[in-house]
Structure 1
Amino acid sequence: MRGDGDGWVISEGGGHFWGRHGAAGLLLRAPGPDGTFAVLLQHRAPWSHQGGTWALPGGARDSHESVEEAAVREALEETGVQADLMTVRTTVVTHEVPGWSYTTVIADATEQLRTVPNRESSELRWVAEHEVADLPLHPGFAASWERLRVVTAGIPLLS
């Protein structure tokens, strides 16, 4: 379903950014077997922008949505994870240019939930937090990952 947020924004510097009202992604954490946490990542379909890289499920925010609503909706569309199975903890603006921003919504699940990829995903995978940077990451996600690790380190995982 297309929302009113779908479309490219061109920044003053000529950069192209998806989401007429900005964009949001979901960093969903769940307990890992070793006492740390795992993050749900999406291996982006080859045909998509930056296809073949790993990133958070996410996308364009519609005009009527909060960043939390947009991230949770996009995660449902791309992974099948239901909103009632997660608890939103905080948000972090991880990229901003005049007229556009990307916000990462950090949420917790009590277990590594079953996922169902849509056509935008080659694969969905729960990845141990300390192994995320070993994957070929989407450039935007790669640029924000260390900052997100610092933020998540200060938020105890819900159990």
Structure 2
Amino acid sequence: MAELPVIHVAAGAIKNQQGEILLALRSPGSHQGGLWEFPGGKIEPGEQPRQALQRELREELGVEVEKCRPLIRVSHRYPDRKVVLDAWLVSQWRGELHGKEGQPLSWVLPHELHRWPMPAADKPILNALNLPDTYLITPPGVESRERFLRQLEKVLESGISLLQFRVFGLEDRQLEQLAREACLLCQEHDARMMLNGSVVLARKTGAHGVHLDRRRLLSSCSRKDYPDLLLAASCHDARELQQAQHLGVDFAVLSPVLPTMSHPDAEVLGWGRFQELCAEVSIPVYALGGMSVDLLQQSWVRGAQGIAGIRSLWPGL
């Protein structure tokens, strides 16, 4: 069997001040013609992805990119070719944006992007656009329910919009009640709560999704077991990341990237290995272990959706 040609593409998820993302319609005669896409094009020999992005957006839309960052890298196999897509989030540009090639353009809110017909290679970008750059994990121990909820409200007021409820050591009834109260707080602040536990408990408490630990990840068989829920997984190596992608999770957490106080003896991946592992899958991946907000930019450069953390994001730890 002949090896498929590999097409390396740079694409821009251009975001305006209203939070909308720009889509362009592919010409009918092109590959995947008639579908909506994130503007961009092939990376020429000798070009870096960012250089290609700047050139393509200048040629297609008549604008100069002033501010952008890596978003996600996607590999997708079509029947006739393999596409490697370097997607960038573009937040600032210069010039009047218009379709220089006559292509129709449309601004779309991120949560509505799934309604637009797109090439399959573009679809993992939708998850990345609908996730924040910071993922909070609650401390595992709760000494005082009232203090826990006060601290949770404080982090939600600071802007955290995605968190994992991960609490151990409580009786089932206490755990369910605390998770329900935490979820109500999240809803009041337009945040989403992932429950580290069973689907049944997630349903009972109103959680927006389920976060799988290693055991649940490796024993899960189908995404259909988690209908209408966000799904995430904790991963530590290539095998677990591949299982997460095969299962169809919305995002993963990969750890430990750097030394951490909670697991001082754990073997760390380091940024180099983290980047290699992220490049092997086409799902958003958060970096966990030794993270702080100061490392957010570093995480993007290394292929992460952003950072995940407990100690650095939770008050009083």
Report the structure, 1 or 2, having the larger strand content.
1
Q: Aligned-residue CA RMSD in angstroms?
A: 2.8
| Alpha-carbon distance, 1:149 to partner | 2.8
- 2-side partners of 1:76 and 1:140: how far apart? 23
Letter in 2 for 1:154: D
Q: Secondary structure at the match of 1:109?
A: strand
- Aligned match of 1:94 in 74, 86, 105? 74
2:42 aligns to what?
Answer: 60
TM-score with structure 2 length normalisation? 0.37
2:31 aligns to what?
Answer: 49
Structure 2 CA distance for partners of 1:90 and 1:100, relative to 1, 3 Å:
same
Which structure 2 residues correspond to residues 5-154 of structure 1 after superposition, within 5 A? 12=3, 14=4, 16-18=5-7, 22-32=8-18, 37-83=19-65, 86-95=66-75, 101-109=84-92, 114-119=96-101, 122-150=103-131, 153-154=132-133
Letter in 2 for 1:26: G
| Identical positions, percent | 24
Structure 2 CA distance for partners of 1:101 and 1:66, relative to 1, 3 Å:
same
- 2-side partners of 1:100 and 1:146: how far apart? 18
Letter in 1 for 2:125: S
Report the count of equivalent residues. 130
Higher relative contact order (CA 8 A, sep 6+): 1
Structure 2 segments unaligned to the other structure (5+ residues): 135-158, 160-317
Structure 2 CA distance for partners of 1:146 and 1:108, relative to 1, 3 Å:
same
- 2-side partners of 1:17 and 1:126: how far apart? 30
| Alpha-carbon distance, 1:118 to partner | 3.0
- 2:13–2:88 CA contact under 8 A, matched in 1: yes
- 2-side partners of 1:73 and 1:101: how far apart? 18
Structure 2 CA distance for partners of 1:141 and 1:100, relative to 1, 3 Å:
closer
- 2:67–2:93 CA contact under 8 A, matched in 1: no
Letter in 1 for 2:92: A
- 1-side partners of 2:12 and 2:73: how far apart? 12
- 2-side partners of 1:132 and 1:108: how far apart? 18
Structure 2 CA distance for partners of 1:144 and 1:89, relative to 1, 3 Å:
closer
Q: Secondary structure at the match of 2:31?
A: coil
- 2-side partners of 1:139 and 1:118: how far apart? 25
Larger Rg: 2
- 1-side partners of 2:124 and 2:20: how far apart? 19
- 1:115–1:124 CA contact under 8 A, matched in 2: no
- 2-side partners of 1:78 and 1:110: how far apart? 14
| Alpha-carbon distance, 1:100 to partner | 6.4
- 2:76–2:121 CA contact under 8 A, matched in 1: no
Report the structure, 1 or 2, having the larger helix content.
2
TM-score with structure 1 length normalisation? 0.68
